[in-house]
Structure 1
Amino acid sequence: MGASESRPTLVPPFERLGEWTLSRVEKLLADYLAKDLDFGLDYHGLSSILDGDKEWSERIIKAFGSQNGLINVLSFITGACLVVSGTPDEKAALCFKAFDFSGTGSISMDETTIMFMCALRGFSMMTGNSQAPTDEAMEICTIELYKSLEKDNYSKLTKEEFLKWVVLKLHLDNSKDLTWINFHQVFGMKSNDLSAKAPDAARHNSSDQIASSDSTLS
């Protein structure tokens, strides 16, 4: 599956995720599922899958801007999946697994949209982006995905179909082609740090690719 891509810079309190592997995130998801916890966790619940670290759990929930002391744990898990080292297909497969609630290897259209929302908002929070993708943008991604597969709104999406779409969406031939610049731009996220380092030609090329993808929705 090729070499894994470089990791993004993480902001407090997520820096320690830079030491994690994808296997560690897989364990996090497995522990969450095994404990049959709710989607919304307080710091006690979150610490139960973070080796009992209540102090870090409190800081994570605060960083996510929770108004009720709860965190959407799937946003944390899938966000962590995106920021650790790993190939795009491995990361996409793990995000998919987190939302395959029935364990059938397929998810609904609504679950697909929620997966996009959770994963990319978690990613945005952990990398310090000022603007996460909007709900509308994530709905458009789901519509684009379903239209590309000629599926109706009631059809299920399989993991294999999703993995193929990820490669096309990110314009990848192999994992080393994934950069955090094109990842941000394809999914409509802003990053002053990354954009400032991007050559003008690369930024223009990515913008053209996004426009080409979006034109299929019209």
Structure 2
Amino acid sequence: MAEGSVMSRKNLQMLSESLAKVAKHFNKKEVKCLIRLYNDLVGEQSERRMGAGLDRSKFRNILHNTFGMTDDMIMDRAFRAFDKDNDGFISIKEWIEGLSVFLRGTLDERIKYCFDVYDLNGDGYISREEMFHMLKNSLTKQPTEEDPDEGIKDLVEITLKKMDHDHDGRLSFSDFEKAVRDEELLLEAFGSCLPDTKV
């Protein structure tokens, strides 16, 4: 590789070694491949603010095309969960750390990630309104239904009954964590925000 190329072999080696330390679930070889992929993706972006990182639309394309996600709200929240410093771009470090949890995270890491995605306004709770919006987006409408919103409201109440352990009418992180530990299927209760296991 020429010195003027995106990243010299020596730099790639150094970067993959340092990032392999933060990405517990990838080995150095995998990290190197993910760095190359990241550089290709960033290189494909338009010229505006080049070098700042992976932008929202490119990241959403990856979630949609590679991982089969279709819900706009969930994809936006996944972007925010990856973009830890909230600068509107996913840096190389955020990319590797995010994918480490997204693809191979422990149950603890996935619980935290899913909760962050579902907490739409970032206040530390999943409210009735947030549940309603996410469930409304993820459920397909039946043309025969009079008022599908009523069914969704009922579903929110059923969900709260099952998951709201402190009975305050919203889900805190500890409510969510306890519910998922009791029944792992509840991890993605409000929409698909992790890759399909077949991917």
Q: Which has the larger radius of gyration?
A: 2
Is TM more than 0.5 here? no
Q: Which has the higher contact order (CA 8 A, sep 6+)?
A: 1
